[in-house]
Amino acid sequence: MKEYSNTQVWVAYFFGFAVLLSIVLLTQWVSDPPSKVILGTWKEKEWKYEVINTGTMVEGFADNNVKILPEYLQNRIREDVIVHQAETWVFKPGNVLLLEKESGEIIEAEWRLKGRGHILYIRYLDGSFEFYDIKELTEKEMVINFDIGMEVRGVARLTFTRQ
């Protein structure tokens, strides 16, 4: 077996590190962080419910594995979850989130991204908060999941398009 000197080993380590560093720098150069991409105005396009408890679903809304949540259940969830009452979400710099309802009423809240930018944390002025799992975040579309955890067990999926 060929024997390598200490210098050769350190040189190999250095090159390995340089390659890794270059890859990391490239990834940061070609894409913006989620905290930047999320800024702007997002219009709620779709509200879907990934089925876990199929007994609560209304037949005829099936769309492969995803079913549209019946209106009465949507309303029940909207009663419990503040943010779902809003149709337009405006993410502003300085972690300000404006939730605009259809009626024109605006709710102010704070937004934060956690993890590797895959968790959206929303804190309201009254101290209550909500967590969303960001499934997709591009320049055009944002898809977030919300664990409902009530009678309709499962995950609500909200899709937004940038305005």
Please state, as a whole number, how many other Cβ atoms lie within 10 Å of the Cβ of residue 97: 21
- String of contacts with other proteins for each residue 42-61, x by CB under 8 A: --------------------
**For other proteins, the closer CB: 18 or 58:** 18
Coil, strand or helix: which one is 68?
strand
- Name the amino acid, one letter, at 100: E
Q: Of 42-50, 63-71, 76-84, 115-123, which part binds other proteins (CB under 8 A)?
A: 115-123
The CA–CA distances, whole Å, from 117 to 38, 72, 76, 86, 130 equal: 10, 33, 29, 22, 15
Site for other proteins in 132-151 (CB under 8 A): 136
For position 7 contacting other proteins by CB under 8 A, the verdict is: no
Distance between CA atoms of residues 126 and 109, nearest Å:
9
For position 161 contacting other proteins by CB under 8 A, the verdict is: no
User: Binding other proteins by CB under 8 A: which of 5, 7, 27, 103?
Assistant: 27
Site for other proteins in 70-109 (CB under 8 A): 95
Distance between CA atoms of residues 6 and 10, nearest Å:
6
User: Binding other proteins by CB under 8 A: which of 10, 12, 14, 31?
Assistant: 31
User: Binding other proteins by CB under 8 A: which of 9, 24, 66, 106?
Assistant: 24
Distance between CA atoms of residues 100 and 84, nearest Å:
10
For position 32 contacting other proteins by CB under 8 A, the verdict is: yes
Distance between CA atoms of residues 53 and 73, nearest Å:
13
Evaluate whether 111 touches 129 at the Cβ level (below 8 Å). Answer: no
User: Binding other proteins by CB under 8 A: which of 35, 74, 85, 159?
Assistant: 35
For position 117 contacting other proteins by CB under 8 A, the verdict is: yes
- Where along the sequence are the contacts to other proteins (CB under 8 A)? 20, 23-28, 30-35, 95, 112-119, 121, 136
